[in-house]
Amino acid sequence: MEYRQLGRSGLRVSAVAYGNWVTHGNQLDDDAAAACVAAALDAGITTFDTADRYAQGRAEEALGRALSGVRRSSVELCTKVCLPVGPGANDAGLSRKHIIEGCHASLNRLGTDYVDLYQAHRYDDTVPLEETMLAFADLVRQGKVLYVGVSEWTAPQLREGLRLAAELRVPFIANQPQYSMLWRVVEAEVVPTCAEFGLGQLAWAPLAMGVLTGRYRPGRRPPAGSRATDGFGGSFIARYSSDLLLSRVRELRSIAEAAGCTMAQLAVAWVLHRPTVAGAIVGASRPEQLAETAAATAVRLDDELTARIDALLGDLVERDPAKTARPNDVMPAWRPPPAAG
């Protein structure tokens, strides 16, 4: 495993991180979740990403139980706050009330006194940004949060957040965008902003919801037991399932063979070679998947292979920076045609 500094901070993270968005508390029971976490640790993965929203808190609970016997200082725990977690008027957003209460609830579910990275899951334009940053500052000073980050903020939002963070001495160090060979909307504006201000990026969905593994084939039903057959995960993967897209992705296999790796490793390695990226967050429902993707840190991509990827995917790459805050707004060519009748 390779370990990288997250932006200009002193925090080091594993280049491959384990995220439990659609798995813990949904697809996996506690025993299966614990097996995956153990496999991640065996592969050298020390960075774990979750959120209060995932499975309505059950994902944090499952991760906390799976790590209960692990030395706390040996891992980096990352969680998030903003998306709705209940029916109340203050059960969502980035108000001081929700951030403080959300942090305490996450700490309880994770079974820890602090999180290494606390992230604003989205931007909240209904709350003054000063209020949000001051709440983060107070949690940092109380020792409950070591570093602060955000997810899916635009470049102007990042700049204003960084300005306030500097005034309040908040260690704002990270951005978590969707980023893959297919989804590159952050490259035009967000990546240069992160480079300018020293933000490290933890990319989510580097495998494009598993599509870039080559597991899904055009004209065929998804394999039994795959994420695409799960009611929750399947709703996201359905956006990436046109025959055109799946056919083009299948052609990546020859490039992976040239690089001496699997398609999953190629996709993760591609993200890890992008500027400002400190880590790639992968999911897994089976322990062996983590052993495979963790090995992506050893894959080296030269300019020729990268150019072949660009030429192959061509007009199927989403680059529109306006979609930075709309991670599910995929291009029509990725979606299957509507069912007849």
Cβ 44 vs Cβ 90: under 8 Å: no
Active site residue 54: yes
**Residue 335, domain member (yes or no):** no
* Parent domain of 66: 3-329
pLDDT score for 337: 74
At residue 293, what is the residue type? T
**Sign of the torsion angle spanned by Cα atoms 273, 294, 23, 278:** negative
**Residue 136, domain member (yes or no):** yes
Tokens for 217, please give them: 């084939």
Residue 185 sits in a domain whose CATH number is 3.20.20.100
Tokens for 62, please give them: 């499952």
**Residue 239, domain member (yes or no):** yes
Return d(Cα 80, Cα 59) in angstroms, integer: 12
pLDDT score for 240: 82
**Residue 339, domain member (yes or no):** no
**Residue 318, domain member (yes or no):** yes
**Residue 336, domain member (yes or no):** no
Catalytic residue among 18, 54, 123, 179, which?
54
Cβ 32 vs Cβ 199: under 8 Å: no
**Residue 259, domain member (yes or no):** yes
Residues 6+ apart with CB under 8 A from 182: 208, 211, 212, 240, 245, 313, 316, 317, 318, 334
At residue 308, what is the residue type? R
pLDDT score for 327: 87
Return d(Cα 273, Cα 259) in angstroms, integer: 14
Tokens for 285, please give them: 């429902």
Q: What is the mean pLDDT of each run of 10 residues along the chain (341 residues)?
A: 97 97 83 94 98 94 95 98 96 98 98 98 97 98 98 97 97 98 97 98 95 82 56 66 92 95 98 97 93 95 95 96 91 77 49
**Residue 119, domain member (yes or no):** yes
Q: What's the domain count of the chain? A: 1
Determine phi and psi for 152, rounding to 5 degrees.
Answer: 60, 40
pLDDT score for 229: 47
Return d(Cα 169, Cα 155) in angstroms, integer: 20
| Stated pTM of the model | 0.92
